[in-house]
């Protein structure tokens, strides 16, 4: 895969470092951890979103959700289970391995809350755009005044 060098643009732009870092990270793989655990991203309203992640076998104590600088990090670490004496697992189809999944959040997207129900972790997100960032309507007025003459000389 081709790699684009953004370093000349760093010298001539201000405030676009995060954009170039995101573009640079698109071509990098995360070492095969991209498939576990499976997740869905849904739009639940005009400015509301939900990430649903399948975390069967994990309890609330074994999952941590952290939002820091537009990055949502979800970690799951299975505690040591007490193995039953004489019980032997013939087939393990439910993955109980540790995981860490990161989501890049857009500007002004905040985590509202997280719930664990029926083996699904639901994380609700909301986009709060500040009033000064929202588009505003500018009224156009017509000028009925005659243009004023700045200098006048009698001829």
The answer, as to whether pTM is greater than 0.95, is no
As separate numbers, helices (DSSP H) first and strands (DSSP E) second, the chain gives: 2, 7
Specify the higher pLDDT residue, 19 or 139: 139
- For the stretch 32-44, pLDDT in tens is 446 788 999 999 9
Q: Which CATH architecture has domain 31-81+88-129?
A: Sandwich (2.60)
At 67, is the pLDDT very low, low, confident or very high (cuts 50, 70, 90)? very high
What is d(CA 34, CA 36) in angstroms, rounded to the nearest whole number? 6
115, 138 Cβ separation under 8 angstroms? no
At 28, is the pLDDT very low, low, confident or very high (cuts 50, 70, 90)? low
- For the stretch 116-129, pLDDT in tens is 999 899 999 999 88
Which strands sit side by side in the sheet containing 99-104, from one edge to the other?
63-68, 71-76, 99-104
Specify the higher pLDDT residue, 79 or 83: 79
Specify the higher pLDDT residue, 120 or 3: 120
Whole-number pLDDT of residue 117: 93
Residues 6+ apart with CB under 8 A from 71: 102, 103, 104, 105
Dihedral angle of Cα 64, 65, 69, 70, to the nearest 10 degrees:
140
- The answer, yes or no, to whether residue 45 has pLDDT greater than 50, is yes
**Domain chopping of the chain, boundaries:** 1-30, 31-81+88-129
């Amino acid at each position: 895969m081709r790699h684009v060098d953004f370093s000349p643009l760093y010298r001539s732009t201000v405030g676009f470092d995060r954009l170039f870092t995101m573009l640079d990270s698109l071509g990098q793989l995360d070492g095969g951890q991209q498939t576990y655990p499976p997740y869905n991203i849904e739009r639940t309203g005009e400015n509301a979103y939900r990430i649903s992640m399948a975390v069967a076998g994990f309890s609330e104590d074994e999952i941590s959700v952290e939002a820091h600088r537009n990055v949502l990090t979800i970690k799951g670490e299975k505690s040591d289970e007490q193995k039953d004496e004489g019980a032997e697992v013939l087939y393990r189809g439910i993955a109980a391995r540790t995981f860490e999944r990161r989501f890049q959040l857009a500007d002004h997207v905040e985590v509202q809350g997280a719930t664990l129900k029926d083996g699904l972790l639901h994380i609700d997100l909301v986009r709060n755009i500040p009033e000064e960032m929202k588009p505003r309507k500018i009224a156009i007025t017509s000028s009925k005044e005659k243009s004023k003459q700045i200098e006048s000389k009698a001829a």
